[in-house]
Structure 1
Amino acid sequence: MVGVLPGHEPINAVAMLVPVAFALGLPPESSLILMAAICVGSEYGGRISAILLNVPGEASAVMAAIEGYPLARQGQAGVALSLAAWTPFVGSAIATPRAASSAMATCGAWPRWKPQITARRTAISSPC
C-alpha cells in the first residue's frame, strides 16, 4: 500500500525497509531482492491511483495518469493497469541480468560463480 498513498514514493518505502532488513539479519542478496521488489511494487501502486483516479501520487506516475485515465474512462482500466504492471516486470527482467553480470565482472565475483576458463592463473585486481 506504500505506492497507492500519494506522497509515499518508492524511495520512502526502501528507506523504511532498510532498518527492517538489518534487524532481520538478512544476507545482502536477500536484502537487495527484497528492496527491489518493494521498489517495483510501490511504483505499480502509484500507477493505480494515477490510472483510476487521475491523481498521480508521485512524479513518475504523471504519464500513467495522462495516458491511463482516459482508458479507464472508456472502460478499459484493466488494460491500462495490466500494462502498468507488465512494463516494470519486462524492464526488470531485461536489466537485472545485465546489471548483475556487469557488477560481478567489475568486482571480481566471477571466479566464485564459475570455474576458471583459462589454464593460466592470473591475479585478479578488483576495484571493489
Structure 2
Amino acid sequence: MSPLFVLFVLVLSISKPVVSIPVGQDGNSGPCKDVFDNFSACSEFIEGGACNDPSATCCQKIATLNAIVNQENGGRVRICRCIEFFSMYNASRPFITSRIQELPLKCNTQLSFPISERMNCSSIDH
C-alpha cells in the first residue's frame, strides 16, 4: 500500500467528513487513485517545471478528468478534493497560478473542476 494512500486514509479518518468520496470499483484502489494517475501527468507543468507547455499526455488526462466530472455524480467535488490533497502532499512544490490559467488554453479545453494555487474545495457546488 502506498504511503500516499495510507496518509489520505488517515486524514479522512480523523477529519469531519463533508462529502463522501467513493472508493474505486475494485475496492482495492484509493478514492483518489484515478485522479492522481491522471493529474500527475500535469504536475511538472503546473508546478513550474522547465517545460513551457503541458505535455500531450497531460492534456489527454485533463480531458479524462473532465469526462469523470460529467459522468460521475459528485465527480466535481471528488476531483477537487483529490487535487486539494495532491497539492497538500506536494506542498514543497506549490501550483503556479499563471500555469493553472494557461492549462486550459494550452490544452484547448475548459476545466470542469477547480484548480488553484491554494486549493479549497469546501465551497464548490456538487
Taking structure 1 as the reference length, the TM-score comes to: 0.30
Which fold has the larger relative contact order, with Cα–Cα distance below 8 Å and residues 6 or more apart in sequence?
2
Taking structure 2 as the reference length, the TM-score comes to: 0.30
